[in-house]
């Protein structure tokens, strides 16, 4: 990939119509209903932002993901982007994503060049409307994960996410009584599925427009 031009491409591409639902569906669990694409539910959901942060390490692009502790909530024990709900006083969803990324993994907001957004995604179990904010860091950050928020920081190479062998499918246990069959990204043995996988799917469709391998 021509890494010196990727950032400029993304900044321009994210101002154009996005792949949206078609790209998100590629990594949606089969057992989930279409309610996550309901416009009314999306509009009335609680806003939240996550940061999709690109940086170079060892000569290739990486994106930080976080493994959450298993605290018994609807998203506990899952792999996700750093982020969280919009708080009163946050001036924008970009501010929310940057603030949360700083709190969770120590990224300095002033170091991030915001390139744009991916499509919003509605999360039915928690009633959140998530905006993925795409950003660029000029150098690999000195991460400082919050031990309460983050069980493990996963520095994920873009090349790994793009590899066809990384996408797999299996039954995932949601609760004692419920499991569903879902596609996921196998990132160093971590199962990246659900909303995070759906957001990554749209990102990869966009990147494939630039570098179709």
Which pLDDT belongs to residue 177? 73
Could you tell me the CATH number of the domain that includes residue 52?
3.90.79.10
Q: What is the mean pLDDT of residues 155-166?
A: 98
The predicted-structure confidence for 68-115, as pLDDT tens digits, reads as follows 987 665 556 799 999 999 999 999 999 999 999 999 999 999 999 999
Asked which of 18-32, 48-62, 170-184 is least confident by mean pLDDT, the reply is 170-184
Of 115, 102, 117, nearest in space to 5 by CA: 115
Its domain, for residue 42, covers: 3-210
What is the per-residue burial (b if ≥16 Cβ within 10 Å, else e) of 137-147? beeebeeebee
Summarised one tens digit per residue, pLDDT across range 120-141 is 999 988 899 999 999 999 999 9
Greater confidence (172 vs 109) lies with: 109
Check whether 174 has a pLDDT greater than 90: no
Distance between CA atoms of residues 83 and 63, nearest Å: 14
Q: What is the mean pLDDT of residues 53-77?
A: 85
For the chain, percent of residues with pLDDT exceeding 90: 80
Number of domains comprising the chain: 1
Q: Which residue has the tokens 């400082």?
A: 144
CB 87 within 8 A of CB 4: no
Please tell me the predicted confidence (pLDDT) of residue 74.
Answer: 53
How far, in Å, CA of 210 to CA of 213, rounded?
9
Which whole number is the average pLDDT over 164-193? 90
Token pair listed for 3: 């890494």
β 46-57/128-136 pair status: parallel
Residues in the chain: 213
Q: What average pLDDT score do residues 34-40 get? A: 86
Mean pLDDT of the chain: 92
Alpha helices in 129-172 (DSSP H): 158-162
Bigger pLDDT: 211 or 176?
211
Q: Which residue(s) pair with 53 in the sheet?
A: 135
Is residue 54 within 8 Å of residue 134, measured between CB atoms?
yes
């Amino acid at each position: 990939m021509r890494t010196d031009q990727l950032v400029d491409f993304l900044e321009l591409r994210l101002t154009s119509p996005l792949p949206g639902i078609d790209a998100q569906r590629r990594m949606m669990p089969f057992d989930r209903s279409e309610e996550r694409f309901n416009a009314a539910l999306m509009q009335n959901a609680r806003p939240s932002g996550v940061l999709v942060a690109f940086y170079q390490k060892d000569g290739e692009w990486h994106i930080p993901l976080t493994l959450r502790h298993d605290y018994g909530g609807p998203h506990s024990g899952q792999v996700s982007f750093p982020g969280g709900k919009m708080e009163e006083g946050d001036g924008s969803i970009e501010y929310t994503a940057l603030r949360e990324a700083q709190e969770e993994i120590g990224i300095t907001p002033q170091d991030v060049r915001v390139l744009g957004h991916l499509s919003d995604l509605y999360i039915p179990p928690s009633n959140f409307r998530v905006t993925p904010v795409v950003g660029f860091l000029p150098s690999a950050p000195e991460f400082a994960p919050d031990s309460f928020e983050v069980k493990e920081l996963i520095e994920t190479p873009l090349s790994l996410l793009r590899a066809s062998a990384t996408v797999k499918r299996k039954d995932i246990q949601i609760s004692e009584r419920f499991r569903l069959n879902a596609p996921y990204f196998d990132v160093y043995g971590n199962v990246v599925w659900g909303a995070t996988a759906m957001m990554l799917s749209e990102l990869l469709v966009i990147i494939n427009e630039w570098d179709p391998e």
